Amino acid sequence: MKNYFVYPQFYSDSKKLRQEFVDNFKNAKATDAKRFVWDYWYDEDQYHLIRTPAFYYFSKKLYQDFHSHLVQWGRENLGCHDISPPWLSYYVDGCYQNLHSDVPHGPWAFVYSLTPNQKEFRGGETLILKEKTLNYWSDFNEQKKYEYKSFVELIPSKMNQLIVFDPRFPHGVSEVKGTRDPLKARLVVHGWFVNPRPYVVGGLKTAQVQKALDGAFAQLSNVLSKIELLNGTVSLRLQVSPQGHVQQLKLLTSTLKSLSSVQADEKYLLKELKQIFASSIFPKTSQASSITIPLMFK
């Protein structure tokens, strides 16, 4: 599966978030407190950007509504119950993030953009090293020409767009060139999805789900004893009938990577996971349930 996902038009009140930032900057001679909360993060050759904690910057209800929407999305789609305290950052001319990885902050990183779609700068893309770059020689072709875009994914910042990606992959932000005006800058909210655990909606209780899955985890332990070391996160969604049977199983995400040369173990484990969890039996309830299960392998 892909190591990143892009979700356009993510939040219905994105314009309100954007407008509050605009209101705080539109009068260059104002001395409101919101103009003095920014930190210029300068780490030579690594990080050049202007940032502030998002929670304290926006008005309370406006931010909490966005925060709740993002957290709920993470629970339903990733099985992560919260997010780290996010940053609000803007990038003007000369700002960038050089390549780095974010282990162990959380199994998924996110970048939510409040950047105007009509840009007056170049750069500012979220960049992620491609899988084939990290395994360069396995796919090498001496007859083929390789340039910058052959090695990295470049994802432009667009208004109201959420990017979710595997933070183990080296990633960064390409240098912004052209504007020194915060109102025309790359503007993003960013952080990590954290606290992975089963998320249950419907008739079943979380405690019932955890107890019912004891057998599945015992089987999984047996499977893991037979394969080489794997690292990554898998998210499954189970649709369970009132009678307690799994009617549908969907693989939501997988960042499994083999830490040895046995790449086939990734496919084998995913196949076994589907079989194990699809055959799980849950208590009978008055209504159907949806269960999102995150599994972390280290």
Check which CATH number belongs to the domain holding 267 and give it.
Answer: 3.30.2420
Instruction: Clarify whether residues 135 and 253 are in a common domain.
Output: no
Give the range of the structural domain holding residue 54, as residue numbers without chain letter: 4-196
Instruction: Clarify whether residues 216 and 144 are in a common domain.
Output: no
Check which CATH number belongs to the domain holding 178 and give it.
Answer: 2.60.120.620
Contact 37, 56 (CB under 8 A): yes
Q: What is the pTM of this model?
A: 0.93
Instruction: Clarify whether residues 166 and 220 are in a common domain.
Output: no
Instruction: Clarify whether residues 70 and 11 are in a common domain.
Output: yes
Report how many domains make up the chain: 2
Contact 190, 89 (CB under 8 A): yes
| Last residue within a domain, chosen from 196, 226, 247 | 196
The Cα–Cα gap between 78 and 70 comes to 11
Residue (of 197, 190, 201) closest to 70 by Cα position = 190
Instruction: Clarify whether residues 56 and 128 are in a common domain.
Output: yes
| Last residue within a domain, chosen from 171, 196, 221 | 196
Instruction: Clarify whether residues 149 and 258 are in a common domain.
Output: no
Residue 141 is inside which H or E element, if any? Answer: none
Instruction: Clarify whether residues 178 and 148 are in a common domain.
Output: yes
Instruction: Clarify whether residues 158 and 242 are in a common domain.
Output: no
Instruction: Clarify whether residues 70 and 170 are in a common domain.
Output: yes
Instruction: Clarify whether residues 59 and 115 are in a common domain.
Output: yes
In order along its 298 residues, the chain shows pLDDT tens digits of 688 999 999 999 999 999 999 999 999 998 888 899 999 999 999 999 999 999 999 999 999 999 999 999 999 999 999 999 999 999 999 999 999 998 778 899 999 999 999 999 999 999 999 988 988 887 777 778 889 999 999 999 999 999 999 999 999 999 999 999 999 999 999 999 999 999 999 999 999 999 999 999 999 988 888 887 788 999 999 999 999 999 999 999 999 888 776 567 888 899 999 999 999 999 999 999 999 999 998 8
Instruction: Clarify whether residues 92 and 66 are in a common domain.
Output: yes
Residue 295's φ and ψ, nearest 5 degrees, are -125, 125
Instruction: Clarify whether residues 157 and 16 are in a common domain.
Output: yes
| Last residue within a domain, chosen from 196, 215, 234 | 196
